[in-house]
Every structure is written in C-alpha cells, then in structure tokens.
Amino acid sequence: QKEVEQNSGPLSVPEGAIASLNCTYSDRGSQSFFWYRQYSGKSPELIMFIYSNGDKEDGRFTAQLNKASQYVSLLIRDSQPSDSATYLCAVVSSGNTGKLIFGQGTTLQVKP
Amino acid sequence: EADIYQTPRYLVIGTGKKITLECSQTMGHDKMYWYQQDPGMELHLIHYSYGVNSTEKGDLSSESTVSRIRTEHFPLTLESARPSHTSQYLCASQIAGQASKQFFGPGTRLTVL
C-alpha cells in the first residue's frame, strides 16, 4: 500500500461542473496536508493546505480533511478548461523528518 | 512565498559529461529538496537537506550527489551523465517546521544523448 494514494484518472468533467479529487493516506500521525497543481511540463504549484478536520475554502477551491478516515479531498467549483492539470496530494510525514509524501497525482480534464 | 531559481532550465548533453544543476532560494529556508520526475510520472525524492552541511539521500536511489555549503544554494551534480539520467529535476525549499509549505522551482529538463 502506498503512503498516499490517488486515483490517477483522468477525471473528466464538463466546464462549470464541480470536480472532486480524492486522496487517502496511511500515516495516522500526519497533521498537515497540501494540494499542488501541476500543468504539463511545469513544476508543482501549491494551491491549498489544510491542517484541521473539516472544510477550508479559497475561491473556487475547497479542501476537506477527515483524519479519522485518513481522507483528504479537493473540490473545484465552476471548473474551467484552465483547471485541466494534474493535482498532487501531499502529506507531511509524522516522523522527525517532516518530509512531504506525494501521491501519484490525479489528471483532471475540463471539457468546454 | 519563496523565490526559487534553477539553472539551466533546459540542458542537452552527451554521455559521460559532468553536469551540475543549480538551485538557489532567497528566503533563507532551511530545508531544500531535489525531486526527479519523468513525464506523466510521479515525483521521486532523490536528495534533501535540513541546513548547511546537512545532506541526505531520498527515497529513490540516484547516482547524483548534492552539497549544501550555503543556506541559499543546493546544487546537484552528476559526475558522468548517462541517457538513463534524462528526466526533469525539480528543486524545492521549505521553512523548518512540520506545518510549513514546500515551494518548487521551475525545474531543469535534462536530456542526455
């Protein structure tokens, strides 16, 4: 079992719809969670972070965290073709290293 | 946010050459990382550093080496490049602390012929 798991997709949604991206993690001690967006050929860009159970909203993005279920999700409302990218879930290791553990990423395709 | 610079952005080089990929950041971040990523594939951590004179190997075995003589500078060196080293190399930095965010540089796309 991978430490951070994501469905690789592609996830295809029509323009204007809600895209829901999911991530599960194995380290129960993890406290910090991040979502990165990576366009093809570019480097990852941090778009959301969440530390507490519940929802965190930033514009069209909402991150959801459920530590009991070891589950993190990212919702993108009113999806636009420019949202088409790979979304990486990352979890901070609970050990002393504090390294980020990345999932393999979910490719999102928003069709006009 | 961090300003992280990587040079060169693109490099095409012949087999057997020694290369150094540069990474620098201006925010005084203690932690720095090197990742390797093939097109459409996962990020793999190959090296990291938690401060000056501190370097560790990452999760993916790599023939490259790194050094951290100054806080702002974390270069990666390949003594003898091979076609199997062809990949994108991403540098990142992070403020020390569990909850801190990690920021990436623009990457270096390396092609070894």
**pLDDT 10s digits, B3-58:** 899 999 999 999 999 999 999 999 889 999 999 999 888 899 999 999 999 999 99
Contacts with A4 (C-beta within 8 Å, 6 or more apart), sequence order: A23, A24, A25, A26, A89, A90, A91, A101, A102, A103
Residue B2 pLDDT class (50, 70, 90 cuts) = low
Q: For residue range A41-59, list pLDDT tens digits in order.
A: 999 999 999 998 999 999 9
Q: Is B23 on the interface with A (CB under 8 A)?
A: no
DSSP 3-state of B11:
strand
Residues of A in contact with B94 (CB under 8 A): 100
Q: For residue range B44-95, list pLDDT tens digits in order.
A: 999 999 999 999 999 888 899 999 999 999 999 999 999 999 999 999 999 7
Residues of B in contact with A42 (CB under 8 A): 106-107
Write down the pLDDT at residue B97.
Answer: 67
Question: For the residues A11-29, what does the mean pLDDT come to?
Answer: 96
Nearest CA in chain B to A32: B99
Write down the pLDDT at residue A98.
Answer: 73
Write down the pLDDT at residue B60.
Answer: 84
Q: Is A32 on the interface with B (CB under 8 A)?
A: yes
Q: Is B5 on the interface with A (CB under 8 A)?
A: no
**A66-A71-A76-A79 Cα dihedral, nearest 10 degrees:** -150
